Amino acid sequence: MESARWRVEPGAPFDLGTIDPGDTSPAPGDKKITNAAVKELRDRLAELQGRLYAAGDQALLVVLQAIDAGGKDGTIKHVFKGVNPQGCKVTSFKQPNSTELSHDFLWRIHQNTPHKGMFGIFNRSHYEDVLVVRVHDLVPEHVWRRRYELIRNFENELSVEGTRIVKFYLHISKEEQADRFRRRLERPDKRWKFSHADLEERKHWDDYRAAFNEAIASTTTETAPWYVIPGDHKWFRNWCVLTTLVETLEDINPQYPEPADDLPSPADVV
Ligand code: AMP
Ligand code: MG
């Protein structure tokens, strides 16, 4: 499987520093050729989603995490644009509100996991509770540290009950982040995305790197694997994410339900 290349295996040493964010191998070709392949993969994804929806006995949960400007929004836009909106729900997790904060960190997450038959797409997720929360000391270390195990148990429960989980870390370089911030500031249609917090967060680049390294290493499992996708080139990133999703769904291999025995023949419809 092509996606095995980006998959983080449990138990093996892991360091984002060893993975090149500018990688474009093994793309099917240059940007143009790869974009053509992306179109075909999108069609395939749409067909598989239709089958998952019709079968209605399993769900797919896609978790997207990245540093600011890492490409979460763009990935959602380009990867899922072909799928039937009825079978798809995107949830973007922002700073928790007071009700959410008054519960355990997984409470708001579990309420948004996909129904059977659905794609659930998480733009940020429960992983923020071991990332931003760690970097900014929002809870003591012993509290965020025990969350790795809570996350593994939670994801295992979802998976045993019929939700396939695929987690993507979109991996960009520090230079690429700076370029994207500059472009956001230059372009009137992108400026709204810039937040003053973005430059503040950028100062914590190394802390985020350490937090991602440990979070990914501690929570990649057979049933809920992490995939680290080289993200500096958006066209390559889209192709990698689509390839991984199509391979995952082909493995699930959802089938249209068997027709009922007493179905009338088309000629009976008068
Ligand atoms: P954006 O994705 O640009 O809309 O920003 C959402 C913001 O919400 C980011 O700064 C996240 O770090 C923050 N956020 C999301 N989840 C949490 C969380 N559990 N605790 C604290 N901040 C969070
Ligand atoms: Mg932002």
pLDDT tens across the length of the chain (270 residues):
999 999 999 998 899 999 999 999 999 999 999 999 999 999 999 999 999 999 999 999 999 999 999 999 999 999 999 999 999 999 999 999 999 999 999 999 999 999 999 999 999 999 999 999 999 999 999 999 999 999 999 999 999 999 999 999 999 999 999 999 999 999 999 999 999 999 999 999 999 999 999 999 999 999 999 999 999 999 999 999 999 999 999 999 999 999 888 899 999 999
d(CA 27, CA 229): 12
Regarding the beta carbon of 124 and ligand 1, being less than 6 Å apart is answered yes
Q: Ligand 1: distance of its center to the CA of 163 in Å?
A: 24
Ligand nearest to the backbone CA of 134: 1
Q: Distance, CA 39 to ligand 2 centroid (Å)?
A: 28
Report the pLDDT value the prediction gives residue 215, as an integer from 0 to 100.
98
Check pocket membership of 133 for ligand 1, CB cut-off 6 A: yes
Decide: 203 in ligand 1 pocket, CB within 6 A.
no
Ligand 1 centroid from CA 55, angstroms: 34
Closest CA to 123 of 63, 165, 180: 63
Alpha-carbon span 56 to 51, nearest angstrom: 8
DSSP states along 13-24: ---GGGS-TT--
Instruction: Compute CA distances 243 → 4, 16, 90, whole Å.
Output: 10, 21, 20
The residue whose CA has the least distance to atom 4 of ligand 1 is 94
- Is residue 135 within 6 Å of ligand 1 at its C-beta? no
Instruction: Supply the pLDDT for residue 260.
Output: 87
Of ligand 1's listed atoms, the one at least distance from the Cα of 195 is 3
Tell whether ligand 1 has an atom less than 6 A from the beta carbon of residue 139.
no
Model-wide pTM > 0.95: yes
Is any atom of ligand 1 closer than 6 Å to the C-beta of 51? no
CB atoms within 10 A of CB 203: 8
